[in-house]
Amino acid sequence: MRTYDLIQKKKEGLALTKEEIAFFVRGVTDGSIPDYQISALLMAICLRGMNGEETATLTYEMMHSGDVVDLSVLGEGTVDKHSTGGVGDKTTLIVAPLAAACGATVAKMSGRGLGFTGGTVDKMESVPGMRVSLSSDEFFRIAKNRRICVVGQSGSLAPADKKLYALRDVTATIDSISLIASSILSKKLASGAKNIVLDVKYGSGAFMKTPEEAKRLAEEMVRIGTALGRRICAFITDMDEPLGYAVGNASEVKEAVEVLSGRGEARLTELCLALASRMVALSLSLPAEEAEARVAEALSSGAGLRAMEGWFTAQGGDFSAVLQKDFAKASCEEELLSPQSGILSSVDALGVGRASCLLGAGREKKEDIIDPLAGVYLKKRRGDSVKKGEPIALLSCSDPARLPAAKELLLSSFQIGAEPVPLRPTVYAIVE
Ligand code: URA
């Protein structure tokens, strides 16, 4: 078999066979196919697309390009939740304890933030003492005892995706539904959970800009996951504005505690209850209404908050530090004041995410060091009335030199009009 022929075939819009896709993924993983041929085939796939069978085969081969975790010792109730990335998305910190408090087991790997999107592992590391790199024995012990354990992505999981993703990033081949679906799912499937809840975001702060695009991606992932033996569903949710008030690692942990204490922002709380209910329904085979009732009870009784404490403590985190008033308080803070009176018609997620990155909360390159205390705290949401001179956000960081550029960008992320704006639903659709 020759890679040249595969490129030629895909360029003509023909479907690749199972053997050809397996050959390609093997060659990517062992380094025998040069980057220029991989990139040419990625571009052909991007332009010509792949059918459902090709995408499923690509996912399966990428999943098996490295280690495949076996979670079966933890029983059938293992559940993973994955968000396609967004701004202020701290849902894993909330839904994992809620689902665990209801009897599900959330033993998972999570990513770090890149660019303007955040990552759960960075948020966890803002808690003093928290360890996100554990031995396999520790991982299984904590998952068994606490029903939650979250660690950083292992390098030996889906190595083909690592290579392909790096090339896609620099060859303008990210935005292919087949390539995104196989990339995300190969890692999720290799991580071993029997049940998977996906949160596919759309809007300015997401990969997919429209709900229709997000739905196509969600349908593809649900189809492949089901074909490969998982119980899987996908939410399509809004990421035109940040989720909740906090954008920044430590302050997002603090906001997660607020939600689990029953004081969360309404849209964030609504989404977390919906996601956690699906996680519980899938993993414990419960009817939707019963799962919803159990999750609501876990929130109102404080069982979810206690599950978070048990989880953080088991991974070395100092939970009492998180409860301190000054947790997440940075040395440098500045308020953004509203330039006019009116109604907030838009709080652009991309702009807020980029401003937060400029303050030091995110990284442009993988090696960049992040400031856990940096970020933006929104004081107003889309649809709120504001008065001229009223604070609409708080910028935090450890280096005052970062403030001016971030403040300018943040200001341009707020649009203020005269008319009330219709509120968008938090959940656009659920694909099952
Ligand atoms: N996240 C991934 O892991 N892969 C993609 O292709 C896009 C988002």
What are the average pLDDT values for consecutive 10-residue runs of the chain, which has 432 residues?
98 98 98 97 97 96 96 94 93 98 96 81 96 96 97 90 90 91 95 95 91 96 95 96 96 98 97 98 97 98 98 98 96 97 96 95 82 97 96 97 97 95 92 94
Amino acid at 141: R
Let me know whether 269 and 229 are in one domain: yes
112: phi then psi, degrees, rounded to nearest 5 = -95, 160
Let me know whether 14 and 87 are in one domain: no
Q: Is 272 helix (H, G, I), strand (E, B) or coil?
A: helix
Contact call for residues 347 and 184 (beta carbons, < 8 A): no
**Quick one: tokens of 251?**
């302050």
Count: domains in the chain: 3
Which of 302, 322, 342 represents a domain boundary (last residue)? 322
Say how far apart CA 248 and CA 28 lie, in whole Å.
36
Contact call for residues 49 and 178 (beta carbons, < 8 A): yes
**Quick one: tokens of 270?**
């609504």
The CATH code of the domain that includes 362 is 3.90.1170.30
140: phi then psi, degrees, rounded to nearest 5 = -70, -35
For ligand 1, atom 6: residue with the closest CA: 180
Decide if 432 is inside a domain.
no
Let me know whether 286 and 356 are in one domain: no
Q: Is 184 in the pocket of ligand 1 (CB under 6 A)?
A: yes
Say how far apart CA 336 and CA 28 lie, in whole Å.
48
Decide if 362 is inside a domain.
yes
**Quick one: tokens of 360?**
């030091």
* Residue from 42, 84, 209 to probe ligand 1 pocket by mutation (most atoms less than 8 Å from CB): 84
- With 0-12 / 13-18 / 19 or more C-beta atoms within 10 angstroms meaning exposed / middle / buried, residue 187 is buried
- Residue 47 has what pLDDT? 97
For ligand 1, atom 1: residue with the closest CA: 184
Which of 258, 293, 322 represents a domain boundary (last residue)? 322
Give Cα separations from 397 to 102, 326, 348, 354, 371 (angstroms).
Answer: 37, 14, 20, 14, 7
Let me know whether 317 and 338 are in one domain: no
For ligand 1, atom 3: residue with the closest CA: 184
Say how far apart CA 225 and CA 319 lie, in whole Å.
36
Amino acid at 28: V
Let me know whether 11 and 105 are in one domain: no
Q: Is 183 in the pocket of ligand 1 (CB under 6 A)?
A: yes
Let me know whether 113 and 207 are in one domain: yes
Residue 266 CB partners (closer than 8 Å, separation 6+): none
Q: Is 180 in the pocket of ligand 1 (CB under 6 A)?
A: yes
* Residue 187 a catalytic site member: yes
Q: Is 117 in the pocket of ligand 1 (CB under 6 A)?
A: no
Let me know whether 104 and 181 are in one domain: yes
Angle made by CA atoms 276, 279, 284, in degrees to the nearest 5: 125
The CATH code of the domain that includes 139 is 3.40.1030.10
Which atom of ligand 1 has the smallest separation from the CA of 183? 4
Decide if 65 is inside a domain.
no
Burial 342-365, CB ≥16 within 10 A → b, else e: bbbebbbbbbbbbbbbbbbbbbee
Which residue, chain included where needed, has tokens 């964030």? 268
Partners of 215 in the beta sheet? none
- Residue 174 has what pLDDT? 86
* Residue 161 a catalytic site member: yes
Length of the chain: 432
Q: Is 342 helix (H, G, I), strand (E, B) or coil?
A: strand
- For 361, the domain range is 332-417
Residue 388 CB partners (closer than 8 Å, separation 6+): 338, 339, 340, 341
The CATH code of the domain that includes 43 is 1.20.970.10
Let me know whether 134 and 200 are in one domain: yes
Let me know whether 224 and 193 are in one domain: yes
Residue 56 CB partners (closer than 8 Å, separation 6+): 223, 224, 227, 228
Q: Is 57 in the pocket of ligand 1 (CB under 6 A)?
A: no
Let me know whether 308 and 336 are in one domain: no
Let me know whether 121 and 233 are in one domain: yes
Q: How far is the CA of 199 from the centre of ligand 1 (A)?
A: 13
Q: Record the pTM.
A: 0.94
Decide if 346 is inside a domain.
yes
Which of 289, 322, 355 represents a domain boundary (last residue)? 322
Decide if 58 is inside a domain.
no
Decide if 427 is inside a domain.
no
Which stretches within 51-105 are classed as H helix? 52-63, 91-101
Decide if 156 is inside a domain.
yes
Decide if 57 is inside a domain.
no
Q: Is 236 helix (H, G, I), strand (E, B) or coil?
A: strand
Let me know whether 131 and 28 are in one domain: no
